[in-house]
Amino acid sequence: MLKGKHIILGVTGGIAAYKTAWLVREFVKAGAEVQVVMTRSATEFITPLTLSTLSQREVVIEMFPPSPDQPTMQWTKHIELAVWADIMLVAPATANSLAKFAHGLADNFLSTLVLALRCPLAV
């Protein structure tokens, strides 16, 4: 059903963040490629390692590479993912993140990615 589809799953810091492991597993089982993007606060509820293992892709959290010595490709990762995706789902979506999306704030990787999207966004 989802074979060959590219899904971005945005995870924010709500208590329901632990349920995203199930979502990733179901999307992958249905044949989709899943890229997980988390806010820093989401990592307090579920580890990036869990979601990375289930999606078989590195989870993106930070906008900028931890070191200036890393390749500059990381600096445009939000554009790359915005073009790659067929749909983006944000779950759970905290009120804080929804406000950022609505007002066009881009102070973390997830909200910056939302601004760059070229596909439908579901929250």
Q: What is the pLDDT of residues 6-49, one digit of tens each?
A: 999 999 999 999 999 999 999 999 999 999 999 999 999 999 99
CATH of region 30-93+102-122: 3.40.50.1950
In the 8-state DSSP scheme, what is residue 60?
B
With a cut of 70, say whether residue 85 has pLDDT above it: yes
Distance of alpha carbon 43 from alpha carbon 20, whole angstroms: 12
Dihedral sign (CA 84, 86, 91, 97): positive
Span 66-83, average pLDDT: 78
Distance of alpha carbon 72 from alpha carbon 52, whole angstroms: 22
Distance of alpha carbon 56 from alpha carbon 46, whole angstroms: 16
For residues 79-108, b (16+ Cβ closer than 10 Å) or e, as one string?
eebbeebebbbbbbbbeebeebbeeeebeb
Distance of alpha carbon 115 from alpha carbon 46, whole angstroms: 25
Helix axes 20-29, 48-55, angle to 10 degrees: 10
With a cut of 70, say whether residue 74 has pLDDT above it: no
Instruction: Fill in the amino acid letter for 83.
Output: V
With a cut of 80, say whether residue 72 has pLDDT above it: no
With a cut of 80, say whether residue 75 has pLDDT above it: no
| pLDDT value, residue 89 | 99
